[in-house]
Copies of this chain bind each other. A is one copy, B any other.
Amino acid sequence: MTTPTRQDALRLDRDDPIGWLRNEFVIDDPELIYLDGNSLGRLPRRTEAALGRLIRDEWGNDLIAGWDRWVDLPRSVGELLAREFLGAEQGEVVVADSTSVNLYRLSSAALGARPDRRVVLAVAEEFPTDRYILEGLAADRGLEVRFLESDPVEGLGVGRLADALRAAEDAGGVAVVVLSHLNYRSGALESMPEMTAEVHAAGALMVWDCSHSIGSVPIDLGASGADLAVGCTYKYMNGGPGAPAFLYVRRSLQGTLSQPVWGWFGQRDQFAMGPRYDPVDDIGRFLVGTPPVPGLVGIRESASLLAEAGIGALRAKGIALTELAITLADDWLGPHGFMVGSPRDSARRGSHVSLRHPDAWQISQAARAAKVVGDFRAPDSLRLGFAPAYTRFVDVWDALDRLRAVVATGDHLRYDGALGRVT
């Protein structure tokens, strides 16, 4: 197969059914190729407008009366995510607090529902905050967290999970399994229905972290049987820096699970300010404090925009973009010592691609100087996120071409010293 040309890439853009989406985003510098939308998504134009109205008109002029509308945002934005991106039902998703705080609350609730079991399973390559949250919960309760080894490219897989569930039986059994739907480094996608079924067969509860998949890969929490889920909204969902996270609780569990942070936004008849905590009967009982309104508005705007394209079309384009990237990486970067650190089967891969190289940090710096913004993930990954909403095929071609030039000329070798801070 011949290597795709820049003309091929331009043709793919012309034929792209969701090519119009890019124009809905603020893009100041046409030379900059932004491949970090999996870390901080771009600003949709409608979000800029909506936040302007929120601040100037709603806060500035409506003042306290703004809360008549704002108070429902955690639920209404949750419904939007549930319907368009999560395969969840009405009343199963709310948006509030950070991913870390939500993971703490839901994992704590899940552990409370399996009081006689002693083991929590997670992946050693899991995103750090998930691991730390579980460590803290386990330390407080005298439980054991087993961090499972996964394949650095292909992920954990059902087989390793099943083995670990069985192996834990002697140690008191598994209470809760926490897994990322999509690995933050390699982009490997785990099978939500198959793994959830294994976890349930072992009598444990399943918590999915969808931070790196929501907005790029269709998620069907309902059909998968997932018990609980959390996820980030400022990556592919473009909610803005520090936008709050979603949480999902299967309806059948809402009456039995108790989350530990009992706040007034979960209270029945909140403004009666009654003497004792008496949470509502539905997903609202998983709310705690006053929600961050600008972040919620940011999510609402971007989610409504992405919903116009549809997650199916976004997914199809994400696959096509990453296929092109991998083809070019093999042809152009392989000879310079790069290895593709992401699954080659597109059904098992999200919308970002990891390229491994011993000089990955230096290359990431030189790439930025060449206006290709990806990110470095220790120890040796250059992570390139191809957000389907605003990344063109020609961007993929140009980015890989610039990377080729960097390593061909050795431009990256002028960088050294301590690792830079990369978010």
A residues near B (Cβ < 8 Å) are 26, 28-29, 34, 36, 39-40, 42-43, 47-48, 51-52, 55-56, 59-61, 63-68, 70-71, 97-101, 104, 124, 127-129, 131-133, 135-137, 140, 147, 232, 234, 240-245, 260-267, 270-277, 288-296, 373, 375, 377-378, 419, 421-423
**Which residues does chain B contribute within 8 Å of A100, judged by CB atoms?**
261, 263-265, 288-290
Q: How far is the CA of A270 from the CA of B303 in the complex (A)?
A: 29
The one of B97, B272, B293 in contact with A98, judged by C-beta atoms closer than 8 angstroms, is B97
Known A131-B276, A136-B262; 19 more pairs at CB < 8 Å: A28-B60, A36-B63, A42-B63, A47-B55, A63-B373, A66-B241, A67-B241, A97-B289, A98-B263, A98-B288, A99-B289, A127-B273, A129-B264, A129-B265, A132-B262, A132-B264, A243-B292, A272-B419, A273-B377
Q: How far is the CB of A102 from chain B (nearest CB, A)?
A: 9
Q: Which of A97, A98, A377 has the most CB of B within 10 A?
A: A98
Closest to A423 in B: B67
User: Which residue, A68, A104, A147, has most C-beta atoms of chain B within 10 A?
Assistant: A104
Chain B residue nearest to A244 in the complex (CB): B292
Stoichiometry, copies per complex: 2
Residue contact A61 to B378, C-beta cutoff 8 Å: no
Question: Given the known A-B contacts A48-B55, A71-B421, are A261 and B101 also in contact in the complex, defined by CB atoms under 8 Å?
Answer: yes
Whether A56 lies near B275 (C-beta < 8 A) is no
Q: Are A378 and B289 in contact (CB under 8 A)?
A: no
Nearest CB of chain B from residue A35's CB, rounded to whole Å:
10
Question: In the complex the two chains form, is B135's CB within 8 Å of A263's CB?
Answer: no
Report the minimum CB–CB distance from A184 to chain B (whole Å): 9
Q: How far is the CA of A60 from the CA of B423 in the complex (A)?
A: 16
Whether B128 lies near A28 (C-beta < 8 A) is no
Name the B residues within 8 Å of A266 (CB-CB). 132
Closest chain-B Cβ to A156's Cβ sits at a distance in Å of 16
List the B side residues contacting A127 at CB < 8 Å. Answer: 264, 273
Q: Which residues of B contact A104 (CB under 8 A)?
A: 260-261, 263, 288
Residues of B within 8 A of A264 (CB): 100, 127-129, 132
Which of A34, A135, A136, A245 has most chain B Cβ within 10 Å?
Answer: A136
CB contact between A242 and one of B124, B261, B263, B294 (< 8 Å): that residue: B294
Which of B70, B99, B131, B136 makes the CB contact (< 8 A) with A260?
B136
Cβ contact within 8 Å between B97 and A135: no
A56 touches B48 (CB 8 A): yes
Contact indicator A29/B261 (Cβ below 8 Å) = no
Query: CB < 8 Å: which of B56, B63, B132, B241 contacts A70?
Result: B241
A422 contact set on B, CB distance < 8 A: 271
Q: Are A240 and B59 in contact (CB under 8 A)?
A: yes
Contact of A271 among B40, B244, B271, B421 (CB under 8 A): B421
Which of B56, B242, B378 contacts A292, CB < 8 Å?
B242
Are B241 and A59 within 8 A (Cβ)? yes
Beta-carbon contact of A55 and B423 below 8 Å? no
Interface centre among A28, A39, A63, A131 (most CB of B within 10 A): A63
- CB of B128 within 8 A of CB of A273, answer yes
Give the residue name and chain of the B residue nearest to A288 (CB): B100
- A43 near B26 (CB under 8 angstroms)? no
Nearest first, the 5 closest Cβ-Cβ pairs linking A and B are: A98-B289, A136-B262, A100-B289, A100-B263, A129-B264
Chain B residues lying within 8 Å of A275, measured Cβ to Cβ, are 124, 131, 147
Contacts of A67 in B (CB 8 A): 40, 241, 423
With a cutoff of 8 Å between Cβ atoms, the chain B residues found around residue A274 in the complex are 128
State in angstroms the CA–CA spacing of A39 and B48 once bound together.
Answer: 26
Pull 21 A–B residue pairs with CB atoms less than 8 Å apart, ordered by A. A26-B60, A29-B61, A43-B56, A63-B373, A64-B373, A64-B375, A64-B423, A65-B373, A97-B97, A98-B288, A101-B101, A129-B264, A129-B265, A132-B262, A135-B276, A136-B262, A241-B294, A242-B296, A244-B292, A292-B294, A294-B295
